């Protein structure tokens, strides 16, 4: 319990999401309830509306009123994946997404995406459990995504702009170095290392990003500052993942590299993430709503379950959070959850959830 009060009531907002979102969130809630039953806080879950379904009904993915409630009324937010490819704005982009609404609206500037290969999980790469254990710290409020919703399009051309600010680069770099101080270093050599991933060989905005990263790095002489161009990073994340400890990167690059990292650790269903700011934070899988498998109980709930652990950890309930992570690890290590080649648990979503609960 880490000194926090077990009798406390903690308000958690739930955004169930679209596609596989509701079934995954249901799994995570079951696990949270089971894990907190004896010595945890009482979690009061309250569902709020948001996503593609909301957009189809109301014309916006989340109302301003709901966003304001999320900002002010809850300790944390558990979010399932949202969006459906067919739900689109006239301009061609998707209407049901919440990335812009929540990340900008709550100023959750750090998208923290742990990529870890667990014992017992099949991977298409040749590495073993323990060889892959790094965290992508993705800048979440600017970069190429600053153009979200304001790109320009004519009949002949279209444009989005990539912009980074000193404030944005500084705070994401500092987050990365602080995180590295809390970790045990890279699997290969134990070095505490923060790798700046950019394309500063080509684009001015990335050169600026790296310059600010260097200014912050100078404040952390105990942590190795390291660099990769994004193309080489993509290569090394597959060929030499044990080199990486913490990666700090721009928004769009972080989006791409995190799905690549997931492929090396058993698929998208293995990876949860935290969107962290100075106010309320929210927790969601790195993947999307996987509409083709929605409602079939084929999806791997591990991503959402690890989100639940990250949420409890963030709220200070470190022991309960650790118990959930260990239950996931044991379930795979014992072969009680086994994934098929598509990253789906062979026995289905519900059985995987029950297995994790049995190890709490
Ligand atoms: P996706 O992540 O939904 O699916 C990619 C592939 O991974 C599919 O084969 C899918 O079946 C599989 N997959 C994803 N999660 C899985 C899980 N837990 N277990 C097993 N397999 C899983 O990506 P997509 O198809 O490009 O996007 C679908 C929708 O999700 C789109 O509307 C997209 O915009 C949205 N999206 C939302 C978020 C979010 O809410 N954070 C993130 C990414 C994509
Ligand atoms: C993610 C997603 C989002 C992103 C989309 C759905 C807005 O892919 O969280 O990784 O691009 O950031
Ligand atoms: Mn993504």
How does DSSP assign 75-134, residue by residue? SEEEE-----TT-B-TTSSBSS--IIIIIIHTT--EEEEEEEPPTT---SSSPPTTT-EE
| CA–CA dist 235, 249 (Å, integer) | 16
> What's the token pair of residue 29?
């809630």
Are 229 and 247 contacting, i.e. CB atoms less than 8 angstroms apart? Answer: no
* Residue having the nearest C-alpha atom to atom 6 of ligand 1: 290
Query: Can you tell me which atom of ligand 1 is nearest the CA of 99?
Result: 41
Cβ neighbors of 165 (< 8 A, separation 6 or more) are 142
From ligand 1's centre to the CA of 289, what distance in Å? Answer: 5
User: How many CA within 13 A on the CB side of residue 141?
Assistant: 20
Are 22 and 80 contacting, i.e. CB atoms less than 8 angstroms apart? Answer: yes
Beta strands in the chain (DSSP E): 9-15, 42-47, 76-79, 110-116, 133-139, 152-153, 158-159, 193-198, 224-229, 246-249, 272-276, 281-285
Query: Can you tell me which atom of ligand 2 is nearest the CA of 82?
Result: 6
Q: Is the CB–ligand 1 distance for residue 343 below 6 Å?
A: yes
From ligand 1's centre to the CA of 132, what distance in Å? Answer: 22
Kindly give the pairing relationship between strand 110-116 and strand 133-139: antiparallel
The pLDDT value recorded for residue 6 is: 65
Q: Is the CB–ligand 1 distance for residue 271 below 6 Å?
A: no
Which ligand is in closest contact with the Cα of 288? 1
From ligand 1's centre to the CA of 30, what distance in Å? Answer: 22
Q: Is the CB–ligand 1 distance for residue 297 below 6 Å?
A: no
Are 173 and 210 contacting, i.e. CB atoms less than 8 angstroms apart? Answer: no
Average pLDDT along the chain, 360 residues, taken 10 residues at a time: 69 98 98 93 97 97 98 98 97 96 98 98 95 98 94 95 98 98 98 98 98 98 98 98 99 98 98 98 98 98 98 97 98 98 97 98
Mutate to test the pocket of ligand 1, among 15, 290, 344 (most ligand atoms within 8 A of CB): 290
The pLDDT value recorded for residue 8 is: 87
Which ligand is in closest contact with the Cα of 83? 1
Reference 100, options 140, 70, 65; nearest CA is 140
Reference 310, options 327, 299, 322, 302; nearest CA is 322
Reference 280, options 65, 67, 81; nearest CA is 67
Query: Can you tell me which atom of ligand 2 is nearest the CA of 148?
Result: 7
* Residue having the nearest C-alpha atom to atom 8 of ligand 2: 255
| Vertex 147 angle, CA 137 and 150, to 5° | 150
């Amino acid at each position: 319990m880490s000194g926090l009060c077990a009798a406390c009531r903690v308000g958690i907002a739930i955004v169930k999401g679209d596609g596989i979102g509701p079934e995954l969130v249901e799994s995570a809630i079951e696990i949270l309830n089971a894990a907190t039953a004896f010595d945890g806080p009482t979690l009061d879950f309250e569902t709020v509306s948001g996503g593609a379904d909301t957009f189809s009904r109301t014309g916006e993915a989340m109302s301003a009123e709901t966003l304001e409630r999320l900002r002010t009324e809850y300790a944390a937010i558990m979010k399932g994946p949202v969006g459906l490819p067919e739900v689109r704005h006239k301009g061609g982009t998707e209407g049901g997404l919440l990335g812009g609404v929540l990340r900008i609206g709550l100023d959750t500037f750090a998208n923290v995406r742990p990529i870890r290969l667990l014992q017992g999980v099949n991977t298409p790469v040749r590495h073993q459990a323990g060889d892959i254990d790094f965290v992508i710290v993705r800048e979440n409020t600017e970069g190429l995504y600053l153009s979200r919703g304001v790109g320009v399009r004519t009949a002949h051309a279209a444009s989005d702009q990539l912009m980074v600010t000193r404030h944005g680069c500084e705070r994401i770099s500092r987050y990365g170095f602080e995180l590295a101080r809390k970790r045990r270093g890279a699997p290969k050599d134990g070095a505490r290392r923060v790798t700046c991933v950019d394309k500063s060989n080509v684009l001015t905005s990335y050169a600026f990003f790296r310059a600010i990263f260097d200014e912050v790095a100078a404040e952390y002489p105990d942590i190795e500052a390291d660099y990769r161009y994004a193309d080489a990073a993509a290569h090394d994340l597959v060929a030499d993942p044990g080199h990486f400890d913490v990666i700090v990167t721009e928004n769009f690059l972080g989006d791409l590299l995190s799905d690549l990292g997931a492929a090396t650790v058993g698929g998208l269903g293995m990876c949860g993430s935290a969107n962290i700011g100075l106010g309320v934070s929210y927790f969601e899988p790195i993947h999307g709503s996987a509409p083709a498998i929605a409602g079939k109980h084929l999806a791997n709930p591990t991503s959402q379950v690890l989100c639940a652990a990250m949420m409890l950890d963030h709220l200070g309930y470190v022991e309960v959070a650790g118990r959930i992570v260990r239950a996931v690890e044991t379930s795979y290590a014992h072969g009680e959850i086994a994934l098929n080649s598509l990253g789906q648990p062979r026995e289905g979503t519900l059985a995987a959830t029950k297995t994790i609960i049995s190890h709490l």
